[in-house]
């Protein structure tokens, strides 16, 4: 037990209170050292205005507290609005776009594009479907981000994935009872389906991604793309109107691995390089021609056509943020750290989260075990009985033969 640890650097000092356990000591020490050596805390912004995941919502306060604790004074959290043609502030280091439910305007997409062109890091967590309130019925969701992401090198699939072998369980209400049962649409990513090259995922054991779509990696000049996570070879894609009830039949389709998360690094080309700056759309007038104010705004700005070296992470769902599962939170914190702070804390934190599912047995192994139990064990009992019977018969004959001697 330590009564306290003081860490100082260049006039800054941080105190770790009473240390009763060494379980998280390495992480606490490293994060505190980074805190005192960081000249200025960076800012992580969460996009708002389109039904996104809101860190200021009372329902998400537990998640906010986890983020604040993870930041440890190294980065601050704020909301970002792009309404009325407002640009993303230069103080934002990382922009999180999570769970958009309403389409973004071209001007808002332009501001995101220009943020990336200025070297800003961005996380896109894009849901493929929108659930009808109070039901497990879903319909395809249009966010307006597909063409932007495809231009950068990650094309969102117009689909919903399930994994017939590796999936998590979910809670369902049946009358007055809560039932927990396996749910193929809660896709579970397990080793070795994580990227071993990227520090976001190379220490992860498992991550559950509810209601996720696939990603198609598109080769772009000067861009390095890494598939961070894939389904197993038993992944399946479905399209159309979705009945996601746990007992609803799943249509037959080709089984194959699908990419569900990707990291892109390099110098990106602007999606608006050869286009005019989009005008600011308002609720009262989205179809009229540009107003004098918007024309003046466009003339005052110049589109940046190529970015500095920067990074983008794309995931085919945002639902894991609301689930508050330790593996999903760890995955998101790793992503924010990688984009905002680098690699220093990721490996340490990931050691504490372990979820190692049993190795899946092959069909041959399953059949062997089945026949061993149904035929092999009874056969062994029969053989044992026959051996015992013959031994008794032999002993009886010996007694009859030599007993009178």
- Whether residue 398 lies inside any domain: the answer is yes
404 and 258, same domain (yes or no): no
b/e per residue 299-322 (b: at least 16 CB within 10 A)? eeeebbeebeebbbbbbbbbbbbe
Which comes out higher in pLDDT, residue 17 or 82? Answer: 82
Phi, psi angles (nearest 5°) of residue 84: 60, 30
377 and 334, same domain (yes or no): no
State the CB neighbour count (10 A cutoff) for residue 351.
12
Opening angle at CA 155, ends 307 and 147, nearest 5? 65
Please report the pLDDT score of residue 36 as a whole number: 65
In the β-sheet with 167-174, what is the strand arrangement from edge to edge? 167-174, 177-190, 206-210
pLDDT 10s digits, 328-353: 999 999 999 899 988 766 656 555 55
385 and 246, same domain (yes or no): no
The average confidence (pLDDT) of the chain is 85
Into how many domains does the chain fold? 2
CA distances from 102 to 105, 128, 129, 154, 319 (A): 9, 12, 12, 20, 16
- Range with lowest mean pLDDT among 139-148, 180-189, 312-321, 390-399: 390-399
228 and 371, same domain (yes or no): no
The answer, yes or no, to whether residue 259 has pLDDT greater than 70, is: yes
- Whether residue 6 lies inside any domain: the answer is no
Please report the pLDDT score of residue 112 as a whole number: 97
Read off the tokens for 34.
Answer: 């980074």
258 and 389, same domain (yes or no): no
305 and 210, same domain (yes or no): yes
283 and 386, same domain (yes or no): no
The owner of tokens 């060494």 is 22
The answer, yes or no, to whether residue 236 has pLDDT greater than 90, is: yes
- What is the rounded distance in angstroms from the CA atom of residue 360 to the CA atom of residue 163? 13
Range of the domain at 372: 366-405
- Whether residue 361 lies inside any domain: the answer is no
- Whether residue 214 lies inside any domain: the answer is yes
Please report the pLDDT score of residue 359 as a whole number: 61
The three state secondary structure string of the chain is CECCEEEEECCEEEEECCECCCCCHHHHHHHHHHHHHCCCCEEEEEEECCCCCCCCCHHHHHHHHHHHHHHCCCEEEEEEECHHHCCCCCCEEEEEEECCCCCCCHHHHHHHHHHHHCCCEEEEECCCEEECCCCCEEEECCCCCHHHHHHHCEEECCCEEEECCCEEEEEEEECCEEEEEEEEEEEEEECCCECCCCCCCCCCCEEEEECCCCEEECCCCCEEEEEEEECCCCEEEECCCEECCCCCCCCCCCCCCCEEEEEEEECCECCCCCCCCCCCCCCCCCCCCCCHHHHHHHHHCCCCCECCCEEEEEECCCCHHHHCCHHHHHHHHHHHHHHHCCCCCHHHHHHCCCCCCCCCCCHHHHHHHHHHHHHHHHHHHHHHHHHHHHHHHHHHHHHHHHCCC
334 and 374, same domain (yes or no): no
Averaged over 85-95, what is the pLDDT? 94
370 and 347, same domain (yes or no): no
Smallest CA-to-CA distance from 83 within 111, 61, 44 is with: 111
Averaged over 203-229, what is the pLDDT? 95
335 and 382, same domain (yes or no): no
378 and 342, same domain (yes or no): no
pLDDT 10s digits, 272-309: 998 999 998 754 444 444 444 444 455 567 899 999 99
- Whether residue 357 lies inside any domain: the answer is no
Angle between helix 61-71 and helix 326-340 axes, rounded to 10 deg: 40
295 and 390, same domain (yes or no): no
Averaged over 192-201, what is the pLDDT? 92
- What is the rounded distance in angstroms from the CA atom of residue 116 to the CA atom of residue 297? 20
- Whether residue 175 lies inside any domain: the answer is yes
In the listed set 305, 321, 351, which residue is the last one of a domain according to the structure? 351
How much of the chain, in percent, has pLDDT values that exceed 90?
A: 50
Cis before residue 192, ω within 30 degrees of 0? yes
Averaged over 18-29, what is the pLDDT? 63
- Whether residue 4 lies inside any domain: the answer is no
Please report the pLDDT score of residue 348 as a whole number: 60
- What is the rounded distance in angstroms from the CA atom of residue 363 to the CA atom of residue 280? 59
- Whether residue 11 lies inside any domain: the answer is no
Please report the pLDDT score of residue 295 as a whole number: 46
pLDDT 10s digits, 366-384: 778 888 888 888 889 999 9
């Amino acid at each position: 037990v330590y009564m306290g640890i003081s860490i100082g650097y260049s006039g800054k000092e941080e105190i770790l209170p009473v240390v009763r356990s060494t379980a998280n000591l390495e992480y606490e020490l490293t994060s505190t050292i980074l805190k005192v050596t960081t000249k200025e805390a960076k800012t992580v912004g969460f996009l708002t205005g389109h039904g996104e995941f809101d860190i200021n919502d009372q329902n998400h306060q537990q998640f906010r507290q986890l983020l604040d604790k993870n930041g440890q004074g190294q980065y601050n959290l704020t909301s970002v609005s792009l309404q009325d043609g407002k640009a993303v502030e230069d103080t934002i280091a990382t922009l999180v776009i999570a769970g958009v439910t309403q389409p973004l305007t071209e001007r808002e997409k332009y501001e995101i594009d220009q943020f990336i062109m200025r070297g800003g890091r961005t996380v896109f967590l894009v849901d493929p479907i929108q659930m009808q309130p109070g039901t497990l019925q879903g319909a395809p969701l249009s966010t307006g981000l597909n063409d932007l992401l495809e231009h950068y090198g990650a094309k969102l699939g117009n689909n919903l994935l399930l994994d017939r072998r590796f999936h998590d369980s979910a809670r369902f209400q049946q009358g007055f009872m809560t039932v927990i049962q396996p749910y193929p649409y809660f896709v579970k990513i397990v080793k070795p389906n994580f990227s071993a090259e990227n520090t976001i995922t190379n220490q992860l054991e498992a991550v559950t991604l509810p209601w996720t779509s696939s990603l198609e990696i598109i080769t772009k000049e000067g861009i390095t793309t890494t598939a961070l996570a894939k389904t197993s070879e038993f992944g399946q894609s479905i399209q159309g109107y979705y009945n996601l009830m746990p007992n609803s039949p799943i249509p037959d389709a080709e089984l194959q691995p699908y990419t569900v998360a990707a990291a892109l690094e390099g110098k990106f080309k602007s999606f608006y390089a050869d286009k005019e700056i989009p005008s600011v759309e308002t609720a009262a007038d989205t179809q009229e021609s540009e107003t004098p104010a918007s024309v003046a705004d466009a003339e005052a700005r110049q589109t940046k056509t190529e970015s500095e070296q920067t990074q983008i992470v794309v995931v085919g769902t945002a639902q894991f943020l609301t689930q508050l599962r330790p593996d999903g939170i760890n995955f998101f914190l790793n992503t924010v750290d990688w984009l905002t702070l680098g690699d220093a804390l990721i490996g340490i934190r990931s050691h504490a989260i372990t979820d190692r599912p049993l190795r899946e047995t092959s069909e041959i192994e399953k059949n062997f075990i089945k026949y061993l139990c149904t035929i092999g064990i009874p056969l062994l009992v029969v053989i044992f009985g026959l051996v015992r019977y013959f031994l008794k018969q032999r002993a009886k004959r010996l007694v009859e033969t030599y007993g009178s001697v």
